[in-house]
Amino acid sequence: MNDPDQCIAIPGAAPLPGPNAGSHRLPVRLLGIDTDREAVVYMRREAIVCQAEGFAAQTRVAVSSGARRIAARLRLVSGHWLEENTVGLSCRARDLLAVDEGDWVELEHLPAVESFDPVRAKLTGQPFADGQLAEIMHDVASGRYADIHIASLLSACAGGRMEVGEIIALTLAMAQTGQRLQWPTPVVLDKYRIGGMAGNCTTPIIVAIVSAHGLTMPKTSSRAITSPAGTADTMETMAPVDLDLARMRRVVDEVGGCVVWSDTVGLCPADDALIDVERSLELSSDARWIASILSKALAGGGTHVVVDVPVGQAAEIRSRDMAVRLIAQLGAVGGALGIQVFPQIADGSQPAGRGLGPALEARDVLSVLQGAPDAPVDLTDRAVAIAGTLLELGGRAVVGAGAGLARKTLNAGLAWQQFQRICDAQGGMREPRCGRYSRTVSAARAGRVSHIDNRCLNRIAKAAGAPAAPGAGMTFVAPLGTLVAPGDPLFTIYAQSAGELSYALAYAQQHPQVIAIEAA
């Protein structure tokens, strides 16, 4: 059996089996090598341990220090820069093990991962049996699955291969890999969005409106998967989001709501691991959307969840028929888990805001909260609609009156005041900063904007450095229906380096139909 060859341990997840008689005790060298999210250890090729255990390059090994135990990939090195009978650790391995230079660790072969067999079977069309997805998610959360094997799992779940019963089992299995929150109120509100539509960051606005009325909305959000900015990326330009579970509870107890990064809370470590690979592949599926949303809602203690479903040719959900099928599955899975789900179909033909990228989307959020005259109307309307539904679900407005109350909350400045309280409780508010390099792309002809390629917009913003560079991305000022003359601005690219600006500009020039203009 070919086992995963790249494993990441996730704090709070189920532990790997403990050291056995075949383990070897070695002193640590901290090498300062950044291997991103992959734990890597280094040893001399001629080391006694390598000879005795038959360790080869890329061997998967278990490394432990006290109660901490991780799976890592072994790299073999030559030369005398690493002592023969020591083990060098990458930065990721050091952080997971919490060791210092000269500490001792145990090293041994990693046991086989038997739960991968059902994934192979699923790829050939066989359904998951009872209990198999729970075992798979346990091993994913424990760091025993490689990225390549997670990619295989994601492929097995894509393309309509998952039945509703399997999605329910997957959702429950993911939620059970982490902690589960309980709140003292009978109604706990939550909100999610399907798909990688950039420029649609409504969550901070919604949380501020809803919690301003005394309702509980503990929002955990992910970083970007396929878009130039996830909600956590955008919120991080305005306030800290890397709160642990205890601090998140304190914030919610104090102000009623929060917007924090789901990874640091540790509610669904299996989902976090899957998202890391989805981000690299730019891949997702109906089953994964549903399981990701509802596992986090279940673990976070949510009782009533509104799901924003943008529909359009350049959105993840291309047609109303696709949306109807997805909504039916959301309702079935939510009902089986005791969560009331309220999907809302939205226009996915263009971003609701004007900024794409963390800081640029944050500027839109602040303009809406502050009631700026140039605040994006579509973004305001979308936030008001969702917040209105949540206010009705929370009993603060009768059915049909929620949107009006939400808009009054915005216009009176109450949501802005509440948002400042949330930011202060999370560690202090800060001003989002845009990239120092910028270039405006203008219309080459006169006419009316007839089509916007959202995927191409995403790629331009990501080419500029978003979301890794918070100030990078783009703003577009010519939404659908805009009349333009030659030389009128269409969008402006922002970057934090001249090289990234040039790269993004070159991509935009290669795709002139990103904003299509037809004769008026």
Residues 361-400 have pLDDT tens digits of 999 999 999 999 999 999 999 999 999 999 999 999 999 9
Q: Which three-class secondary structure state does DSSP give residue 270?
A: helix
Please give the Cα distance from 329 to 209 (Å, whole number). 29
User: Quick one: the chain helix, strand, coil %, rounded to 5?
Assistant: 40, 20, 40
Residues 6+ apart with CB under 8 A from 381: 352
pLDDT digits (tens, 9 = 90+) for 120-175: 999 999 999 999 999 999 999 988 888 889 999 999 999 899 999 999 999 999 99
The token pair at 516 is 């299509």
pLDDT tens-digit readout, 242-266: 999 999 999 999 999 999 999 899 8
Residue 18 has pLDDT above 80, yes or no: no
Q: What's the angle, vertex CA 270, arms to CA 158 and CA 135, rounded to 5?
A: 85
**Residues 472, 200: Cα–Cα separation, whole Å:** 16
Higher pLDDT, 19 or 493: 493
Model confidence at 465, in pLDDT bands (50, 70, 90)?
very high
Domain 24-109 has CATH 2.40.40.20: yes
Q: Mark out the alpha helices in 98-185 (DSSP H runs).
A: 117-123, 132-141, 147-157, 164-175
DSSP letter, residue 81: S
> Could you tell me if 189 and 216 are in contact, meaning their C-beta atoms sit under 8 angstroms apart?
yes
Q: How many CB atoms lie within 10 A of CB 48?
A: 13
What pLDDT score does 315 carry? 77
Give the pLDDT score at 293: 94
Beta carbons of 234 and 361 less than 8 angstroms apart: yes
- 10 Cα distance to chain centroid: 16
Residue 198 — pLDDT band, cuts 50, 70, 90? confident
Beta bridge partners of 345: 309
Do 189-426 and 24-109 have the same topology in CATH? no
In which residue are the tokens 């033909």 written?
Answer: 349
Residue 11: the pLDDT is: 39
CA distance 442 to 389: 39
H-helix or E-strand spanning residue 232: helix 231-236
Full DSSP string of 470-491: TT-EEEE---TT-EE-TT-EEE
* Topology of domain 437-518, CATH: Aldehyde Oxidoreductase; domain 3 (3.90.1170)
Per-residue H/E/C for 402-469: HHHHHHHHHHCCHHHHHHHHHHHHHCCCCCCCCCCEEEEEECCCCEEEEEECHHHHHHHHHHCCCCCC
- What are the tokens at 514? 């990103």
Residue 21 has a pLDDT of 47
Residues 6+ apart with CB under 8 A from 199: 351, 352, 353, 354, 355, 356, 361, 364, 379, 457
Task: Please give the average per-residue pLDDT across 507-519, as a whole number.
Answer: 94
Could you tell me what percent of the chain has a pLDDT over 70?
95
Is residue 259 within 8 Å of residue 204, measured between CB atoms? yes
* Residue 402 amino acid letter: G
Alpha-carbon Rg for the chain in angstroms: 24
Mean pLDDT across 401-405: 98
Condensed to tens digits (0 to 9), the pLDDT of residues 435-448 reads: 999 999 999 999 99
Q: Tell me the C-alpha distance between 461 and 477, whole Å.
A: 15
List, for residues 61-73, the tens digit of each pLDDT value.
999 999 999 999 9
* Per-residue tokens: 66: 């006290």
Any idea which of 166-170, 317-321, 352-356, 447-451 has the lowest mean pLDDT? 317-321
Backbone angles phi, psi at 487, to 5 degrees: 95, -10
Helix and strand numbers (H, E) in the chain are: 19, 18
Question: Quick count: other Cβ atoms within 10 Å of Cβ 179?
Answer: 14
Structure tokens at 212: 């301003």
Looking at residues 262-283, what average pLDDT do you find?
Answer: 88
The domain limits of the chain are 24-109, 189-426, 437-518
Q: What is the pLDDT of residue 5?
A: 37
Q: Which of 110-114, 215-219, 351-355, 457-461 has the lowest mean pLDDT?
A: 110-114
Residue 13: name the closest of 119, 166, 137 by CA.
137
- Domain 189-426: top CATH class: alpha beta
Instruction: Report the alpha-carbon distance of residue 292 to residue 304 in Å, rounded.
Output: 16
Q: How far apart are the first and last CA of the chain?
A: 63
Distance CA 461, CA 184 (A): 42
